[in-house]
Amino acid sequence: MSEIIISSTDLLSNPSRLKGAARIFDITGKLDFYDYKENADEESIARDWKIVGLEINYGIKEESEPRETSSI
């Protein structure tokens, strides 16, 4: 089965260590950048439900496959 990877961190910034250290002295808060889209909530909710659907689909496939029985 091929794995589908869906990232839920598209809205977050990915800082480097240098930028992280620079944030200590950034009293104005200008170093932080976030992707403020008008439909960011809609995209996040749609992504979450897509992941839920993939998990349900995976569970159905796992339960429908015959299981091996082992004799102890």
* Structural tokens at position 31: 């170093």
- Residue 56 domain flag: yes
What string of pLDDT tens digits covers the 72 residues of the chain? 456 666 656 556 566 788 778 878 888 877 776 667 788 788 889 999 999 999 999 999 988 888 777 666
- Residue 25 domain flag: no
Query: Integer distance in angstroms from the first to the last C-alpha of the chain?
Result: 29
- Residue 48 domain flag: yes
Looking at residue 57, its pLDDT comes to: 93
SS3 label, residue 31: coil
Q: Which domain holds residue 50?
A: 35-64
CB 6 within 8 A of CB 50: yes
The pTM (predicted TM-score) of the whole model is: 0.49
- Residue 51 domain flag: yes
Looking at residue 58, its pLDDT comes to: 92
- Based on the structure, what is the number of domains in the chain? 1
Instruction: Output the CA–CA distances (angstroms, integers) from residue 71 to 64, 66, 68, in the order listed.
Output: 22, 16, 10
